A = this chain, B = another copy of it.
Amino acid sequence: MLDLYIASKAGFTGERIIYDGPFKPVEALREALEKEVLLINCESFTELERLNNIAKKAGIKQPIGLRVNPYTRPSFLRSLHPKTLLEEAAFCFPKCRFGFSIEETRMAFNYLKKMKNLSLECLMMHPYHRAISVLMPLFREAYEKFEFEMKYLNIGGGFDPGTTSSTGDLLLALDYIKARLGIKSSKNKEKRAQKIEDVAKTIIEELKRSLGDLPEPTLITEPGRFIAGPAGLLLLRVDHVKVAGGYKWVVVDGGTNIVPIFYERRRLLVANNGSALNTELVNVVGPLLYPKDFVAIKTTLPDVKEGDIIAVLDCGAYSLSSSTQFLYPRPPAVLVNTEGYVKTIREKETFDDVICKDRF
């Protein structure tokens, strides 16, 4: 609902909107339908039933997609791999819960043949790199066996801008052991992302190969993070530097309140001294009272001091949008382009903004 509202405010009309997501209450579906969005990508049988009822009442046939989820629970033995165990098995394999499994997708095809007010036009999955091999056999089946008029193939997102990498408890723990044993860390190795042009080429070639005699669908991708991520950087001020527990801690004025996901490894620069060499291994931490209020874990920086400004690159996606007002009002956002054009696109919050909804 908020997403549809913001898209409209930003000037997007219905035919430029695809409505997606695992949570779509009746009101949200009704609104998407009223806005005449291009497609609604459905994730459950409940949603299909709901949407068919709404479309029926409105007297229309609603174009939809199905989100296909090829992720399945591994065998018990394979689930014992530490990474799978700690990140998937411990959390009940939460990736399973999105969309339709392959088997359910076929059930949905049958189900949709009976739904008079829904028109299946799209198959979707995420992330892109397995999408075509997973979706194309189903796409063919939908078209040839079930005779749906398939128009779109949505291969989701997951495109790598090459500017961040992820880490996790296990990798960080391994790195600690390596450091203690005097083995060189592999954590800060530069990795090279594939050029986006090459990624596009590979996708198109794979699609053409598997398409055969099928009519060519419109290809839809979701490169939101790829575009927005590297477009934003966060400026933080060094408050003080402290040595504790054998590490150097650079305390700055923003942390997980502004950049919530500290497992993302981002590049840091000293903005007021860009040419200085990175000589020190430090942790950069925010102002909150949590031990894990990290901006960066074990990163190299020049010798920084109070008042230095640290630029955290690749903060354009899922940072300000999922920031909190816990202890600090949120910072402004400023648009700068290569021609030197500067504009505040989001005002700085005041203390009163934070409590404006409170009634004493």
Contact = CB atoms under 8 A, between A and B. Distances in A.
Interface stretch (A130-138, A210-218, A352-360): A352-360
Interface string A214-255: 000000000000000000000000011010111101010100
A32 interface: no
A183 interface: no
Interface residues of A, number: 91
A146 interface: no
Interface in A69-86: 72-73, 76, 79-80, 85-86
A96 interface: yes
Interface in A271-303: 283, 285-289, 291-292, 294, 297-298
Given A23-B239, A25-B239, A97 B244 contact: yes
Contacts of A240: 44, 46-47
A180 interface: yes
Given A9-B360, A360-B10, A2 B354 contact: yes
B358 A346 contact: yes
B91 A294 contact: yes
Contact of A173 (B90, B93, B287): B90
B354 A306 contact: no
14 contacts: A23-B251, A23-B286, A47-B240, A89-B177, A90-B170, A90-B173, A90-B176, A93-B246, A94-B283, A97-B249, A97-B291, A101-B244, A260-B324, A347-B359
